[in-house]
Structure 1
Amino acid sequence: MNDLTGFQRDTLYVIAGLDDPHGLAIKDELEEYYASEINPGQLYPNLDALIEKGLVEKSQKDGRTNEYALAHKGTREIEERTKWKSDYIEIDG
């Protein structure tokens, strides 16, 4: 995951946390987090990069909508990063 941009990492986390991770839902979550507009020219090339790296899988939901899901490698990367972060910080819940 160390070769990803912060935006790509955030996108992975959003995909992992959504019940229905399609493009618009991912965009909406990222816009809420960043408190700014995310344009398709930013979102979709980054989703494509995550797919190319084997971290995300894309499937067709209907004729117009694509769904995204973490690939096994993407899940493993999030788990490893979470463990790495926990070695440095402790968050009381």
Structure 2
Amino acid sequence: MHDLTGFQRDLLYVIAGTDEPSGQDVKTEVGSYYSSDINHGRLYPNLDTLVNKDLVEKGELDRRTNYYEITETGRQQIQERREWEAQYR
């Protein structure tokens, strides 16, 4: 997880905490946290990076809508990150 940007890490956390969110669902949740609109040109390349790193799987709900689901590797990375953070509290 050390090679992810903060934005990518936030996307991963949202996906981990949501049941198969669509890209739009992720966009809405992260946008509310950031208090700004997240454009597609920023969102989808970063989601693809998470897929390419095997942290997230992408599936198809219908012809226009994809969903995202965290992988076991993604869960493990989050757990390792939380353990690392906990030692500095």
- TM-score bracket, shorter-length normalisation: over 0.9
Structure 1: unaligned runs, 5 residues or longer: none
Rg: which structure is higher? 1
1:73 corresponds to: 73
- SS state at 1:73 partner: helix
- Across the aligned residues of Structure 1 and Structure 2, the Cα RMSD in angstroms comes to 0.8
Structure 2: unaligned runs, 5 residues or longer: none
Displacement over 4 Å in runs of 4+: none
**Structure 1 length as normaliser, TM-score?**
0.92
- SS state at 1:2 partner: coil
Q: Is the 8 A contact 2:19 2:69 kept in 1?
A: no
Letter in structure 1 aligned against 2:77: E
- SS state at 1:19 partner: coil
**Structure 2 length as normaliser, TM-score?**
0.96
Give CA-to-partner distance per residue, 1:29-70, whole Å, 9 cap, x none.
Answer: 010000011000000000001111111100111121101001
The count of corresponding residues between Structure 1 and Structure 2 is 89
Q: Once the two structures are aligned, what percentage of the paired residues are identical? A: 55
